[in-house]
Amino acid sequence: MAEQDFDLFVIGGGSGGVRAARMAAATGARVAIAEEYRYGGTCVIRGCVPKKLMSYAAHFHEDFEDAAGFGWAVEGARFDWARLIGNKDKEIDRLEGVYERLLSESGVDILRGHARLLDAHRIEVGERVFTAEIVLIASGGHPVFPAGHGWEHAISSNEVFHLDRLPPRVAVYGGGYVAVEFAGIFNGLGAQVTQVYRGAQILRGFDDDVRDTLAAEMVKKGIDLRVETTVDAVEKKGDELRLHLSDGTQHETDLVLAATGRRPNTGNLGLAAAGVALTDDGAVKVDDYSCTTQPNIYAVGDVTDRIALTPVAIAEAMAFVDTVFRGVPRAMDHENVASAVFSHPPVSTVGLTERRARERFAAVDIYRSTFRPLKHTLSRRNEKTMMKLVVDRATDRVLGAHMVGLDAPEIVQGVAVAIKAGATKSMFDATVGIHPTAAEEFVTLRQPVPEPVREQVAE
């Protein structure tokens, strides 16, 4: 075979693709990367980073209210949507520049345009054709709209970051992490929020105590949460939108946000021509080493059907580079991956839910605590924190940790290290807590909840 233009060609400039390109180039490989939108991908440009900045903004209204209990008088506070969006845009522009600079400094050829495979080794970008020994697909995913009438009047999470004003009324359709996060954001910024979800409870797949606790706290904050309900149609009536719901009612709103799922970006990539097979759900099919059905083509991140989280894409990219360019084959370990939902209050979790643990182990012990955090003893806010450990009774190993409440993601990140290392409940018990913190509750839980446990919420 004639020498290729590049040793590695990466399709997609998100977190996984950029990390793979930079690290492969560091081994001396000739690397190119192509991105048709903006470098940084979903997470940096229109996902977790701008969303968390908006979540911070939404928390301030409660902070101003809570300040009174600590002797502060905050008067005249007002929210400026345009200023928030402008400042957010500046930060996203800065981060995009950082990604491009890191690629350039690593010696990666940066291309702009849609990349499409002509075969296993040829890639078309615009009117140019390149060849590569190895191809990495890291094209990410995109939000999808529900089937039905009138969804052209709604927006997805892509558009929500660029609204020209804060809508007075917002309807969020969906019950996953994107839906609950934006419901909390809009509610915190002052909009009247209704969230509609077809399931029995929000956050399907999370621990049931997490689901129930968060739902209760969201309702306390004023979100109109309607479960076991679907949106049959969206109708535009003048300047407002009308939802036709499955319970026979109608609901008027100013904005409808569809947050009902995401799909891998596999369209128009030439995958069939290159011999790359897809799963039944339309994701790129890969083995444990991220290799597709074409031996020289790999895929990482949301375009595959594994865990759709930015740190997972980065970890998969590092495993790919080790395997292909450093001669140290290894698979990404997808067990005990911690995650967070930046809802109001936030959620964080690692390991098995109670339901999954009971399915896999003969007997488990559940340690659970619900309490008012110290901050709210003076603010008088009626917000509860829930913390939970799931333990294998036979081995004493901690199988899962779950939290709803202030600083949950910051706390659970540390707990995730212990669970990844195989810590037992006795190790948690032997750890001295930091007082006074909420985090210490994870090492002071002493009595398991009585058996039998409460009836599980249906998924």
Per-residue pLDDT of the chain (459 residues; tens, 9 = 90+): 468 999 999 999 999 999 999 999 999 999 999 999 999 998 999 899 999 999 999 999 999 999 999 999 988 899 999 999 999 999 999 999 999 999 999 999 999 999 999 999 999 999 999 999 999 999 999 999 998 899 999 999 999 999 999 999 999 999 999 999 999 999 999 999 999 999 999 999 999 999 999 999 999 999 999 999 999 999 999 999 999 999 999 999 999 999 999 999 999 999 999 999 999 999 999 999 999 999 999 999 999 999 999 999 999 999 999 999 999 999 999 999 999 999 999 999 999 999 999 999 999 999 999 999 999 999 999 999 999 999 999 999 999 999 999 999 999 999 999 999 999 999 999 999 999 999 999 999 999 999 864 555 444
- Which residue range is the domain that position 276 belongs to? 6-142+263-325
If asked whether residues 281 and 217 sit together in one domain, one would say no
If asked whether residues 163 and 280 sit together in one domain, one would say no
Active site residues per annotation: 435
If asked whether residues 247 and 157 sit together in one domain, one would say yes
| β-bridge pairing 169-173 and 192-196 | parallel
Answer whether residue 339 is part of any domain.
Answer: no
If asked whether residues 130 and 273 sit together in one domain, one would say yes
How far does CA 94 lie from the centroid of its chain?
22
Residue 231 sits in a domain whose CATH number is 3.50.50.60
Distance between CA atoms of 4 and 134, rounded to whole angstroms?
10
Say how many Å lie between the first and final Cα of the chain, rounded.
53
Written as one string, the DSSP assignment of 165-200 is S--SEEEEE--SHHHHHHHHHHHHHT-EEEEE-SSS
If asked whether residues 302 and 370 sit together in one domain, one would say no
Residue 432 sits in a domain whose CATH number is 3.30.390.30
Q: Is 281 helix (H, G, I), strand (E, B) or coil?
A: coil
Answer whether residue 417 is part of any domain.
Answer: yes
Answer whether residue 332 is part of any domain.
Answer: no
Q: CA dist 406 to 205, 333, 384, 438, Å?
A: 22, 29, 9, 8
If asked whether residues 233 and 277 sit together in one domain, one would say no
Answer whether residue 371 is part of any domain.
Answer: yes
Distance between CA atoms of 165 and 189, rounded to whole angstroms?
11
Provide the pLDDT for residue 3.
84
Q: Are 33 and 103 in contact (CB under 8 A)?
A: yes
Measured in degrees and rounded to the nearest 5, phi and psi for residue 83 equal -70, -45
> By 3-state DSSP, what share of the chain in percent is helix, strand and coil, each rounded to 5?
35, 25, 40
Q: Is 143 helix (H, G, I), strand (E, B) or coil?
A: strand
If asked whether residues 125 and 158 sit together in one domain, one would say no
Q: CA dist 224 to 173, 184, 188, 192, Å?
A: 12, 11, 13, 8
The string of pLDDT tens digits covering residues 364-407 is 999 999 999 999 999 999 999 999 999 999 999 999 999 999 99
pTM of this prediction?
0.94
If asked whether residues 40 and 133 sit together in one domain, one would say yes
Q: Is 63 helix (H, G, I), strand (E, B) or coil?
A: helix
The closest of 432, 400, 433, 430 to 415, measured between CA atoms, is 400
If asked whether residues 420 and 308 sit together in one domain, one would say no
If asked whether residues 384 and 270 sit together in one domain, one would say no
Provide the pLDDT for residue 452.
63
Provide the pLDDT for residue 264.
96
Neighbour-count burial of 189, counting CB atoms closer than 10 A to its CB (0-12 exposed, 13-18 middle, 19+ buried) = buried
Provide the pLDDT for residue 451.
84
Domain count, the chain: 3
